[in-house]
Amino acid sequence: PHNIRHEFRQKNWIVSGSQHATHRCLAFTRHYSGREKKRFYKNVSITQSGSKAFEINLDQRKLKTPSGQPLVIPTESLAVAVATEWDTQHEFIKQHSMHLTALCNTVLDNPTHRTKAQIIRAMLHFLETDTICYRLEDPPELVAMQDEKWEPMLDWINKKYEVDINSTTSITGPVIPQETYRNLEHHLETHSDWALVGYENAIECLKSLVLTFALMDREITVEEAASLSRLETEFQIDKWGSVEWAHDTEFADTKSRVAAAVLFTHLVTEHTEIIQKSRTQ
């Protein structure tokens, strides 16, 4: 967002900014989108209600989740970002464009009633169908492009996380060692429920755990991750051209949602990272 005004007054923050996006990647987040409603508030503010608790106020009303519980956010920076989404709504509230708010709602309401362990298992399950693990045998130009663009991502995650993930041309999928699952599971377990929702959202959008890990670790950018996740589509566009409105909209939508997932994850983990760094100094 840009044009952000952040005014501190007796533990209250006033914010403004702008944000744009389109449709949802995750099926369960569709529960939170609906028909546009007219904006019914003038001011958006943030109130700190605890050491790790920030609430959004629409005029004098506390913002709540779809299930009716208060929208309590664990970090100030994420609260500012969520408040910005609400402040930048104009005549109508376009909930489908408020990705950060939807992610907060998902964490707090947990509409699919899953435990942390179940969320992690669902993410690890993506390794069996990870986009960059599946290679074609022709045409040669696309095979070469996949090797050039995707192989460095596999090399990176194998070295960084001491795992063994390989590509395959078989429809049965790659063989993933149990030790690889354990190493990645251990890493994911170190994250909060909030951060895991951001991870899962990005994985769903990119259809790739490998690309999501690289993105969260700042090894690649959102633009690069989105492009790598649709390499075959880009190859076909280069060869045959594109349906401009369809392909451009889809690509912009993916980037918007992935960017929100990454921002969400980083904003909810920064407080933990600061504490850990201070303890090691």
C-alpha 62, offset from chain centre: 25
Contact 84, 15 (CB under 8 A): yes
Quick check: 27 and 111 in contact, CB under 8 A? Answer: no
**Cβ pair 31, 43 in contact under 8 A:** no
Mean pLDDT by 10 residues, the chain (281 residues): 36 38 41 69 93 92 96 96 95 92 97 96 95 92 95 98 95 92 98 97 98 98 97 85 69 95 94 42 43
Tell me if 14 sits within 8 A of 43, measured CB to CB: yes
> For residues 220 and 202, is the Cβ–Cβ distance under 8 A?
no
Q: What is the pLDDT of residue 246?
A: 62
pTM passes above 0.85: no
The pLDDT value recorded for residue 13 is: 45
Ordered structural domains, the chain, with CATH: 7-109 (3.30.2180.10), 116-280 (1.10.3580.10)
Q: What is the pLDDT of residue 249?
A: 84
User: According to the model, what pLDDT value does residue 244 have?
Assistant: 61
